[in-house]
């Protein structure tokens, strides 16, 4: 099947309520039995067909009552308010898992697990990230505020470097692992500290992450 050509390239920060490392990354069950997560990205280079998406930020807040693959998830997407109607539509098409080879991207896989999808928000998004330093912050007023910092040695306090490679991953092939803190007072309310986070440079299209 032919898909409309699209690409998203840029840094992304993800955090969830699992312990550092997140067993879900390795096809295991979540630390606390449920899955809660928040994600944000800056699109340095992107498109869907003829629609350019360069420079746009997006964020998402998600929740599942059990493991992600068991479904009944809830999703909320935010696209920064400066995006045009055409850009909004293109990005929502990508994020809804359309124009994607089945199972090839995180957008397609996650979309199949949602039973409740909130109407998208178009609001200012604060986004800062340093993938190599394993630090980042994103926020949408009234909806979510998340931070990442290095995992630290409990004795010396020194930052620990941890990278994980997933050659067949549908989100990334290599990411920096870190510690995440989140407060989400919005429609999908949740919070945690000292939990899992990962940072990476996303480069993904209809058939999955680029190698």
Whole-prediction pTM = 0.94
pLDDT of residue 2: 75
pLDDT of residue 3: 84
Which residues of the chain, if any, have pLDDT below 70? 1
* 35 conformational bin, left if phi > 0, alpha if psi -120 to 50, beta if neither: beta
Contacts 24+ apart (CB under 8 A), 124-130: 124/80, 124/81, 125/40, 125/57, 125/58, 125/59, 125/78, 125/80, 127/13, 127/40, 127/41, 127/42, 127/57, 127/59, 129/11, 129/12, 129/13, 129/42, 129/199
pLDDT in tens, 77-118: 999 999 999 999 999 999 999 889 999 999 999 999 999 999
Six token digits for residue 16: 């969830």
pLDDT of residue 31: 95
């Amino acid at each position: 099947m032919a898909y409309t050509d699209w690409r998203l390239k840029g840094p992304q920060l993800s955090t969830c309520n699992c312990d550092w490392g997140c067993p879900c990354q390795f096809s295991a069950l979540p630390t606390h039995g449920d899955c809660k997560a928040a994600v944000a990205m800056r699109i340095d280079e992107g498109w869907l067909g003829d629609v350019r998406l360069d420079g746009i930020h997006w964020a998402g807040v998600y929740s599942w009552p059990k493991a992600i693959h068991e479904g009944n998830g809830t999703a909320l997407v935010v696209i920064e308010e400066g995006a045009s109607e055409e850009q909004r539509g293109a990005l929502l098409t990508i994020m809804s898992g359309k124009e994607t080879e089945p199972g090839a991207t995180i957008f397609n896989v996650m979309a199949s697990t949602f039973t409740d999808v909130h109407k998208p928000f178009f609001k200012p998004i604060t986004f800062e990230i340093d993938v190599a330093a394993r630090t980042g912050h994103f926020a949408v007023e009234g909806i979510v505020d998340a931070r990442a910092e290095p995992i630290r040695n409990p004795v010396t306090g020194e930052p620990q470097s941890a990278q994980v490679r997933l050659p067949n991953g549908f989100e990334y092939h290599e990411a920096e692992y870190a510690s995440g803190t989140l407060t989400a007072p919005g429609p999908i309310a949740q919070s945690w500290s000292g939990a899992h986070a990962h940072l990476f440079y996303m480069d993904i299209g209809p058939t999955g992450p680029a190698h």
